[in-house]
Amino acid sequence: MELKIFIVFFCTLFTGGHSLQCNQCLDIMGPCKSNVTTCPDTAVCASARIVESAGDNEVTMQYKGCAVTDICISGSFNIGDTRTVISTQCCNTDLCNSKDAPDYSSKSPNGKQCYYCDGKSCSNILNCLGKEDYCLKATATNGTVSQTFKGCASKSICDAKSQLTADYKSVLCCERNLCNGAKSITQNLLFLLWPLFFYILIH
Residue 102 domain-assigned?
A: no
Tell me which of 188 and 97 has the higher pLDDT: 97
**Per-residue confidence (pLDDT) for residue 163, from 0 to 100:** 54
pLDDT higher than threshold 60 for residue 63: yes
Pick from 95, 87, 54: which is nearest to 71 by CA? 87
**Least confident residue range of 36-50, 76-90, 124-138, 145-159:** 145-159
**What total of structural domains would you count in the chain?**
2
Residue 125 — pLDDT band, cuts 50, 70, 90? very high
pLDDT higher than threshold 90 for residue 133: yes
Tell me which of 42 and 129 has the higher pLDDT: 129
Whole-number CA gyration radius for the chain: 17
Residue 15 — pLDDT band, cuts 50, 70, 90? very low
- Could you tell me if 24 and 35 are in contact, meaning their C-beta atoms sit under 8 angstroms apart? yes
Residue 101 domain-assigned?
A: no
Residue 99 domain-assigned?
A: no
**Per-residue confidence (pLDDT) for residue 174, from 0 to 100:** 95
What's the residue count for the chain?
Answer: 203
* In the chain, % of residues over pLDDT 90: 45
pLDDT higher than threshold 80 for residue 191: no
**Per-residue confidence (pLDDT) for residue 108, from 0 to 100:** 92
pLDDT higher than threshold 60 for residue 203: no
Query: Quick one: 12 and 63 in the same domain?
Result: yes
**Per-residue confidence (pLDDT) for residue 17, from 0 to 100:** 42
Q: What is the mean pLDDT of residues 128-146?
A: 86
How far is the C-alpha of 106 from the C-alpha of 141, rounded, in Å? Answer: 31
Domain that holds residue 68: 4-91
Domain edge (last residue) among 91, 124, 147: 91
What count of other Cβ atoms lies within 10 Å of the Cβ of residue 198? 17
Residue 179 — pLDDT band, cuts 50, 70, 90? very high
Query: Quick one: 64 and 121 in the same domain?
Result: no
Phi then psi dihedrals of residue 185, to 5 deg: -140, 170
CATH (domain of 123): 2.10.60.10
Domain edge (last residue) among 42, 62, 91: 91
Q: What is the mean pLDDT of residues 34-53?
A: 92
